[in-house]
Structure 1
Amino acid sequence: MELVKKLTGLTLAVAMSTTLAACGATNETQNGEETTGAGNAVNANATANEAAATPEKKITIKYWYAFGDKIEEAKQHLVQEFNASQDKYEVVAEHQGNYDDLHAKVQAAFAAGDAPAVSDLEIASTGVFFRSGMIQELTEYAERDKEELQLDDFNKGLMGNAYVDGKLVGLPFMRSTPILYKNVTMLKDAGLDPAGPKSWDELEQYSRVLKEKGKLGMTVPADIWFYEGLVAQSGGQMLSEDGKTATFNSPEGVEPVTFWKKLAAEKLIKIPVGDEAGATADKDFANQLSAFKFASTAGVTGTLEIAKANGFELETSFMPANKSYGVPTGGCQLVMTSKSTDEEKEAAWAFIKFMTTKEATIYQHKHVGYLPTRMSAIDTDELKEHFQQFPQFKVAVDQLEYARPRPMETAYPEVAKLIREAIEKAILTPDVEPQDALNEAAEKANKLLSK
């Protein structure tokens, strides 16, 4: 990128030199005659006045983001609001697929010297990006603008993944937790209490009743995010405190897989695999084949629309507890690319601050369902009235009491893939024990974590 910008700067410099030379020639000769010194002074003054009247060229930066639909609508709206709010910077927002797509494209662009100045970054990948030198530490910026930023206003339950090795590297943007979505109409028709299920045992009991009605309790992918929540509910940890050793193969990590395997074997729940697993879960819920689904709080608005269109009542609740409630946080934060110019970094910082204000988080929460990231937003009359009218949105906010940050070890994205593969193998292969599958994954994970 530096080379590209140097070349661009050189081109501009040459163009400016050519323009100035042309102006100089005009000043020196008019109709083949030399002008007087007074004439040069008048022309110089006129040129200075024209320059003063001409606004400076805006500093343009790129912002790359993930996901479409309601999420994209919210991001594009906020970008337009930022661009209209001032005349110094211009942000060009570009959609780059899901988080995996976005991360791969940012890495490739960084290597090619053409990375965006700002991007979404899924929280579990923050450690990888920062330790590899791709994103800028924000501590100095936050300290400089502490009165404006009000860092303490961000929900503490969402700040755990904003720091890597004690350094501030991102600000919470569209943050989430998984929650339980419930088709209340199906539950009432089956004679089940819509307030539940509140525990794993109740989830199994509800699923048995629903099976008698020809329905599934839940369609749930073997998603690492959901699994992290179940491990937390069982009293376990994914990794050791120092992040050097896998602990997901402990009894607390095995218990969720054993539970899923049992329910899947009895056809009480369905566990799809592959790239379309999440889409399958959404379709089964929308088509009222499954009464429950785990999904991000970011889906509240969209799922309410689906429920209305398909004629069923929707409620949300905490993920059912095992020994206790527990839930991972998720979503993304906004980060700044490290190799941008100083001007671009200032533009990026101005944009990041704007996108994480109280007003911005209220807007995106109401439009999509992502968590309001600032405590001051939760305390506004606007959100209090919103929660009263649509209690489905408040569940994730209340569930933050039981939230924990996701692991951010450099190797964790690779470890997460190993875990998902092990869970799928254990559940889909009758003679594979969950303990054995997770032990095998832990052995591979430990080699990655020790590097």
Structure 2
Amino acid sequence: MRKKITAFWALILSVMLSLSACSGGSESSNSSGGSSDGAAAQSGKKVELEFYYPVAVGGPIQQLIDQLASDFMAEHPDIVVNPIYAGSYQDTMTKVTTAVQGGNPPDMAVLLSTELYTLLEMKVLEELTNHFPQEYWNDFFEGFMGNTKSGDQIWSVPFQRSTIVLYYNKDKFREAGLDPEKPPTTWEELVEYGKQLTTGDQWGIEIPSTGYQYWMLQAMALQTGGNIMSGDGKKVFFTEPYVEEALQFYVDLGQKHQIMPKGILEWATVPSDFISGKTAMMYHTTGNLTRVKNEANFDFDVAFLPANKQYGSPTGGGNIYVFKDIPEENKQAALEFIKFLTRPERVAQWSIDTGYVGTTKSAYETDLLKKYVEEFPQAAVARDQLQYADSELSTYQNGMVTKFLNDNVQAALSGDITPKEALEKSQSDADRTLAPYQ
């Protein structure tokens, strides 16, 4: 009888322990809350992030991003980052828009910083202001925050950011009797040097006229009088006299001064022409600096863009955006990945590997970037030029507004219409497009 009673209570105790274990497991799972690693550990599943990424400049960008994702996953074994290489910035924006409209947004994406108002109108972004402490935001260079905010709200994180800089071939300067330590600092000097550097098989200067010609024009407008749009994304100033003066100079380099090829100069061809010696100088993104450093077999340098009435360049490049209609554990994982990417040492290494400007002040305080700048001072030029930089062209319906300006600037450079006509047409088309936002 005693054995039967003992067996009965043993059975009861076993059942109670089993129920207690189930209850404890449930409480533990719920308490993990916002931690993607914790949630994944309890469920046994990994959080998977879709990370859309463009490839807009030369160099091994894809390999670098793959390595960053791999390093992050080694630190966070319960998060999987899947980079999706979507082509150009424009291609990437199209694919992100298609995914969002299909109800399947990516978790995060690197897109042009200028896409801010378009994405805000779509109501698809996670606001990031309070996801990071204020000291985190204060570490970014102020010049890169202009295309990152709308009012006091922060909607993206500066990542691969740039300004336009002047690249010049010091060997070609020596051959032309020019001082290789004194690049042109004014528009007048640019023309003067360009004439001495233009020969039968070599141009003095090349400035791209596809893809980002609005960006090049914007630089010349900033050097002459001011920016070409309002800070709220609702107005453009294409017909201001300083913008017409800027476009006239851009056109004159090829048509009047004949120190630059007339007509179309492809964005991707210009750095190749510089590296091969077909042009002695070029305007291009600092994002190509590492490529030029690795591929040019001559002595070269980098300088501020020449001034008209003042120095100036728009900022450029891409920011990291997080999309709001994703699971909470994915959102938390995306924020962890952003923290990882923006650590000072990692920002420093990214700048060294790509040529993009280190986006944070703390990156330039690392021994890594200090040493690199000391050995390769060209790496500091774009950063130093930030004191003269302003926000890149960004408006509502930005793709349309930019296309209007791009098409008309290209027509002016090709000699099909005058600079005045190009800007008046661009202004008219932009005003009509932006009218609903006034």
Counterpart pick for 1:269 among 260, 278, 281: 260
Q: Are residues 213 and 95 of structure 1, via their aligned partners in 2, closer, same or farther at CA, if it must alter by over 3 Å?
A: same
Tell me which of 73, 80, 105 is aligned to 1:83: 73
SS at match of 1:338: coil
Contact conserved, 1:272 with 1:280, CA < 8 A, in 2?
A: no
> Relative to 1, partners in 2 of residues 1:211 and 1:160: Cα closer, same or farther, differing over 3 Å?
same
Native 8 Å contact 2:227 2:390 kept in 1:
no
For structure 2, the residue ranges without an aligned partner over 5 or more in a row are 1-9, 29-40
Equivalents in 2 of 1:362, 1:198: separation in Å? 28
- Among 294, 297, 301, the alignment partner of 1:305 is 294
Cα separation, 2, equivalents of 1:164 and 1:54:
38
Alignment counterpart, residue 178 of structure 1, candidates 144, 158, 164: 164
Q: 1:240 to 1:153 in 2, by over 3 A?
A: closer
How far, CA to CA, are the matches of 1:243 and 1:120 in structure 2? 20
Instruction: Tell me what 1:211 maps to.
Output: 198
Q: Partner of 1:152 in structure 2?
A: 138
1:376 matched to 2:367: no
Q: 1:271 to 1:318 in 2, by over 3 A?
A: farther
- Alpha-carbon offset, residue 328 of structure 1: 0.5
Partner of 2:321: 335
Between the aligned partners of 1:163 and 1:340, the Cα distance in structure 2 is 22
Asked if 1 retains the 8 angstrom alpha-carbon contact of 2:141 and 2:360, the reply is yes
Contact 2:49 2:334 in 1 (8 A): yes
Contact 1:124 1:413 in 2 (8 A): no
Residue 450 (structure 1) aligns with: 435
CA–CA distance in structure 2, aligned partners of residues 78 and 359 of structure 1: 12
- What is the one-letter code of the residue matched to 2:104? D
1:121·1:334 contact (CA, 8 Å) conserved in 2?
yes
Give the distance between the partners of 1:271 and 1:41, measured in 2 at CA.
86
Where does residue 8 of structure 1 map in the other structure? Answer: none
Percent of residue pairs identical: 29
Which runs of 5 or more residues in structure 1 are unaligned? 1-34
1:133-152, Cα deviation, whole Å (9 max, x unpaired)? 1211112312xxx28x6221
Kept in 1, the 8 Å contact 2:233–2:396? The answer is no
Given the superposition, is the C-alpha separation of residues 245 and 45 from structure 1 closer, same or farther in structure 2, using an over 3 Å criterion?
A: closer
- Where in structure 2 are the equivalents of 1:295-444 lying within 5 Å? 295-307=284-296, 311-429=297-415, 432-444=417-429
- What's the CA shift for 1:234? 0.6
CA distance, structure 1, for counterparts of residue 353 and residue 231 of structure 2? 37
Distance 2:161 2:232 in 1: 25
Aligned partner of residue 102 in structure 1, secondary structure: helix
* Pair 1:258 & 2:248 matched: yes
**TM-score of the superposed pair, with normalisation by structure 1:** 0.84
CA shift, 1:117, in A, is: 0.4
Q: Does 1:134 align with 2:124?
A: yes
Give 1:396 deviation, angstroms. 0.4
Name the CA shift for 1:240/1:94 in 2 (closer, same or farther; >3 Å): closer
SS in 2 for 1:208: helix
Counterpart residue identity of residue 56, structure 1: G
How do 1:89-100 residues align onto structure 2 when only pairs under 5 Å count?
A: 89-100=79-90
How far, CA to CA, are the matches of 2:262 and 2:25 in structure 1? 68
Q: Structure 2 CA distance, aligned partners of 1:160 and 1:324?
A: 20
CA contact (8 A) 2:238 2:426 kept: no
| Amino acid across the alignment from 1:159 | M
| Distance in 2 of aligned mates of 1:312 and 1:255 | 34
- Name 1:236's counterpart in structure 2: 226
Give the secondary structure class of the aligned counterpart of 2:68.
helix
Partners of 1:340 and 1:132 lie apart in 2 by 15
2:358–2:364 CA contact under 8 A, matched in 1: yes
Give yes or no for contact 1:220–1:271 (8 Å, CA) kept in 2.
no
Name the residue aligned to 2:5: none
TM-score (norm 2): 0.86
Aligned partner of 2:377: which letter? P
Alignment match, 1:199: 186
Displacement after TM superposition at 1:127 (Å): 1.5
SS in 2 for 1:450: helix
For the Cα contact (< 8 Å) 1:263–1:269, is it kept in 2? yes
SS at structure 2 position matched to 1:92 = strand
Which SS does the other structure have where 1:218 is aligned? coil
Q: CA 1:384/1:241 → structure 2, altered by over 3 Å: closer, same or farther?
A: closer
How big is the shift at 1:50?
Answer: 11
Secondary structure in 1 matching 2:146: coil
The equivalent position to 1:117 in structure 2, one of 101, 107, 114, is: 107
Contact 1:211 1:268 in 2 (8 A): yes
Distance 1:392 1:272, change over 3 A: farther
| Residues 211-260 of structure 1 deviation map (CA, whole Å, 9 limit, x = unaligned) | 24642112222211111111100113212465443312211111122112
Return the offset for 1:160.
1.3
Alignment partners' CA distance in 1, 2:169 and 2:91: 32
* 2:238 alignment partner AA: F
The 1-side partners of 2:154 and 2:251 are apart by: 40
What is residue 215 of structure 2 aligned with on the other side? Answer: 225
> How many angstroms does 1:287 deviate by?
1.8
CA distance in 2, matches of 1:346, 1:313: 47
- Structure 1 residues 328 and 385, CA gap change in structure 2 (3 angstroms): same
2:425 maps to a residue whose letter is: E
Counterpart amino acid of 1:57?
A: K
> In structure 2, what is the Cα distance between the partners aligned to 1:123 and 1:58?
30
Query: What residue is the counterpart of 1:57 in the other structure?
Result: 45
Deviation of 1:71 after TM superposition, in Å, equals 2.4
Which residue of structure 2 aligns with residue 70 of structure 1?
60
* Cα deviation code 1:375-415 (max 9, x no counterpart): 11112232221111011111101101101112432123321
Distance in 1, matches of 2:190 and 2:25, equals 73
Q: Distance in 1 between matches of 2:103 and 2:244?
A: 44
- Tell whether the 8 Å contact from 2:128 to 2:156 is kept in structure 1 after alignment: yes
- Please say which of residues 289-298 and 238-247 is displaced more in the overlay: 238-247
Secondary structure in 2 matching 1:229: helix
